[in-house]
Amino acid sequence: MIPHSYTVDTISQSQDLASKILSSSTAQQILSVCASIESFLHAHSSDQSRHFFSLTFPTLILKLFGFTNDPCAASPSQSNGWIDVISSSNDPDIASRVFHLLSPNGIVFSSIFAVDRKSLVKFVFPTERLPEWARFMLRSEKDSKILSNLCPIFKGNVKEDTNKGIGSVHQIQLNVFEYYMFWFAYYPISRGNNENNIDINLIKRSKKEKFRLENWTYAIPGFSSNVKRGTEQKIECNLYLRLLYAYLREFVPISDLNVHQQPYRSSLLNYTSGYDGSVILRAEFLVDAFVNYWLIDNDFSPLTVNVCKYFGVSHRFCSVLGETPPTSGLGELVKLFVKYLNLNSVVVMKECENIAEYSGSPKWRVSESVLFDSSVKTRDLASMVPYVSGVGSWNAMIQRPLYRFILRTFLFCPMGTSMKNASEVFSVWVSYMEPWRVSMEDFAELDAVVNGSSKNVRTEDSQSQACGYSSSWQGYVLSNYLYYSSLVLHFIGFAHKFLHTDPEVIIQMVLKVMNVLTSAKELIDLVKNVDAVYHSKPAGSSKSKPNSLYRYVPSIREQLQDWEDGLCESDADGSFLHENWNNDLRLFHDGEDGGQQLLQLFILRAEAELQAISSNSLANNLQCIDSLKTHVSCFFGGHTIKPIPFSLETEQRQQSRDEIFKPKRVGNHALANIRYKGDWMKRPISDDEVAWLAKLLIWLSDWLNESFGLNQQERRAEGPKWPYMEVAGDLVGNVDGPMETTKAVIYTIRSWLLMLVATSVKLMRKHGVRVNLRILASKKIVMVLFLFIVFSVFKNVFRLFHRA
């Protein structure tokens, strides 16, 4: 039993240490605090250090990340946190000192595990700093009860709030390790939101000036990839990135994962203590925390459709989250995270091949027998929700969140912003598409900085597999087929939308995608064969190679409907794709919304853009265009540029480049003969329109078109049948009195007006013309009307003044 005086002494020391941490703002003060923390923890046992974690540790977290005690301040304060101080000082010594304090093998984490083993300390994590979708789940009594069954990070942590706080009836209670990791995962989200607000203000102030991409230099301190800064940050001072890699390497096993794995288990949560279940549970918790904070967060469809139906989650958060892009500035972190998890795909590749030989693809077997089987018990399903497949792979846990993260970035990327964030997310996508190029050599520099060996993941298999695509990766491509097909088509729409922003960067991105798709003849054939099988019907019991892919079609179709749930590209960016694009794969479609036609149009636009821009690198850019043509021809076969099934008017050819290719402006008639599948009237609101007025006029135009039947053309086979009635002869010409004469005139005028409206509607139907009042929402027209009204008001006021 600990003496009372000793307990009071540890409390006092913990409070003094918290005050010292709170006042540390320079490099020397941080070094002194690190020494004091290590000295305190070395001198006290786990029972005695509970006061450190209850009183001092929250202060250490807030000071490390630069947060404040104000619950309303969701973003970290500028340049007050230790990470900011280390980043600005660019001093590797202080970075190494703080890293060793917080490293997985340091004294802090050893004390954390000792305290957690005895459950001495519990924290309540702030609800306002949870992932956005989880916040809204906690507002409902029904959803709060099932939240712990949906994600490992909430399993057993959702408790009833005894204080019944406003807006929430439940709260999240965490142990010390979970509490720290929640804050660690939340930090880049809060920094990204803060930087977003800064960039939005900068864009608003610089709209009258020519916007240059190089001016967008704000990034998250600690893991910025902007190499155009005056002094490039050393990776040794990249404290957050070092800690992230250290935590992944220590807590998320790769090759050793198979040692803990039982045969025929479909979820890591099913392992018993005899197989070191604590290691697996900790790894699953950490991965799921990063997935929910970084990839899902503000996604309005955070859960799979079948899981929502199974648990009765009726809403998709569309009304509260809406079409919001993911938090910016996460690209470098997500890329490291995804590449590290993909190392596991390299390690388990041989086992996947052996299992697939006699049981088919294990991914689809688990998907069909677990996630979509209504007879599975709730607790069994809850343990398998994060995984679609087994065989020790982390890949299935991030498939859907990563796909939606990338797709939402492309669809909801706002106009007028930098390509920096989109480029980083694009790099994540390309890295995910090429797991065969991932090896431990990619982490050599971080390994050297962390000063630890990679014995857990450095295997001969991982090095030998890091070359190029081979048939052994067929299972990976099939389980992630949408990354190689549907997402490619969405990206082409994104490239069309932002080609005018930075043609050189966009062309390089499209060329990189085509390089990946044409990197191997076997990969091209596989993507084409799956698409052909997807659009065909099984023909008997044929044993040809394409027919062997039929068993994957149902799963790909389910993935297509689930992963793109709630997303509508025609409404999001007004691109060329039709409104029901998510019901089908269109990459190899022969129509104008197919991949080849869109790439042809992109090449034509890119050539025009490059030639209109005065640049010293014009020759190199044109070589990229030629290389792109070669890759497109290789992927689709035949000639790159085919005759386009539409003609360009002579007047359009004489227009300037900005008039032709500038997207989403009122009065833009460029390429008017191209039949865009997206409704032009419902295109995204541009900067030269009044937003609320445009929405009102769009609604009014829709109502008028629906009322007059202008949404479909008039049938030519049948002529108009006008109703008529015979008037008795004794009534004709008997109009007596002025009242009846007035009525007759009024009825005649009304008949003429109705006939005029009917004739106009008939002509509009015949020529396919619809009512479109959106042009009245133009700021120029609104300004003219406003000035006219103001002039009329002042004119009347002056007239009354002179009369008086």
**Per-residue pLDDT for 394 more than 60?**
yes
Residue 655, by phi and psi: left (phi above 0), alpha (psi -120 to 50) or beta? Answer: beta
**Per-residue pLDDT for 450 more than 90?**
no
**Mean pLDDT value of segment 54-63:** 94
pLDDT tens digits, one per residue of 154-172: 988 998 877 765 555 789 9
Which run of H or E residues covers position 107?
helix 107-117
**Mean pLDDT value of segment 34-40:** 94
Cβ atoms 431, 334 nearer than 8 A = no
Cβ atoms 113, 279 nearer than 8 A = no
Q: Which of 118-132, 325-339, 485-499, 558-572 has the lowest mean pLDDT?
A: 558-572
- In the chain, pLDDT over 90 holds for what percent of residues? 33
What's the confidence (pLDDT) of residue 708? Answer: 78
Cβ atoms 32, 101 nearer than 8 A = no
**Mean pLDDT value of segment 244-264:** 68
**Per-residue pLDDT for 626 more than 90?**
yes
Cβ atoms 440, 454 nearer than 8 A = yes
Q: Any alpha helices (H) in 393-543, and if so which ranges?
A: 395-411, 420-433, 444-450, 460-465, 474-479, 481-484, 486-498, 503-517, 521-534
**Mean pLDDT value of segment 708-736:** 53
- Nearest CA to 346 out of 400, 399, 284, 395 is that of 395
Residues 374 and 609: their CA atoms lie apart, in Å, by 54
Residue type, 548: S
Sorted by sequence, the CB contacts under 8 Å of residue 614 that are 6+ apart come out as: none
**Mean pLDDT value of segment 709-725:** 52
> Within its chain, how far is the Cα of 196 from the centroid?
15
**Per-residue pLDDT for 604 more than 80?**
yes
Helix/strand/coil for 159: strand
**Mean pLDDT value of segment 248-258:** 74
pLDDT band at residue 348 using 50, 70 and 90 as cut-offs: low
**Mean pLDDT value of segment 748-775:** 82
- In the chain, pLDDT over 70 holds for what percent of residues? 68
What's the confidence (pLDDT) of residue 733? Answer: 53
- Nearest CA to 275 out of 246, 291, 253 is that of 253
End-to-end CA distance of the chain: 96
**Per-residue pLDDT for 414 more than 50?**
yes
Residues 123 and 133: their CA atoms lie apart, in Å, by 21
Q: Which of 18-32, 317-331, 517-531 has the lowest mean pLDDT?
A: 317-331
- pLDDT: which is higher, 405 or 237: 405
Cβ atoms 197, 56 nearer than 8 A = no
Cβ atoms 120, 132 nearer than 8 A = no
pLDDT band at residue 295 using 50, 70 and 90 as cut-offs: very high
Q: Which of 26-30, 157-161, 267-271 has the lowest mean pLDDT?
A: 267-271
Residues 674 and 792: their CA atoms lie apart, in Å, by 43
- Nearest CA to 777 out of 644, 673, 666, 640 is that of 666
The neighbouring-strand residues paired with 158 are: 172
pLDDT band at residue 565 using 50, 70 and 90 as cut-offs: confident
Residue type, 78: Q
What's the confidence (pLDDT) of residue 404? Answer: 95
pLDDT tens digits, one per residue of 187-230: 999 888 877 665 555 444 444 443 333 333 333 344 443 433 43
**Per-residue pLDDT for 625 more than 90?**
yes
**Per-residue pLDDT for 720 more than 80?**
no
What's the confidence (pLDDT) of residue 504? Answer: 92
**Per-residue pLDDT for 103 more than 90?**
yes
- pLDDT: which is higher, 297 or 200: 297
Q: How far is CA 183 from CA 66, 74, 129, 721, in A?
A: 11, 12, 9, 72
What's the confidence (pLDDT) of residue 527? Answer: 95
Q: Which of 111-125, 230-244, 776-790 has the lowest mean pLDDT?
A: 230-244
- Nearest CA to 383 out of 396, 368, 399, 370 is that of 370
**Mean pLDDT value of segment 350-371:** 42
- pLDDT: which is higher, 314 or 629: 629
Cβ atoms 105, 252 nearer than 8 A = no
**Per-residue pLDDT for 764 more than 90?**
no
pLDDT tens digits, one per residue of 496-551: 999 988 899 999 999 999 999 999 999 999 999 999 999 887 555 444 545 688 89
Q: What is the mean pLDDT of the chain?
A: 75
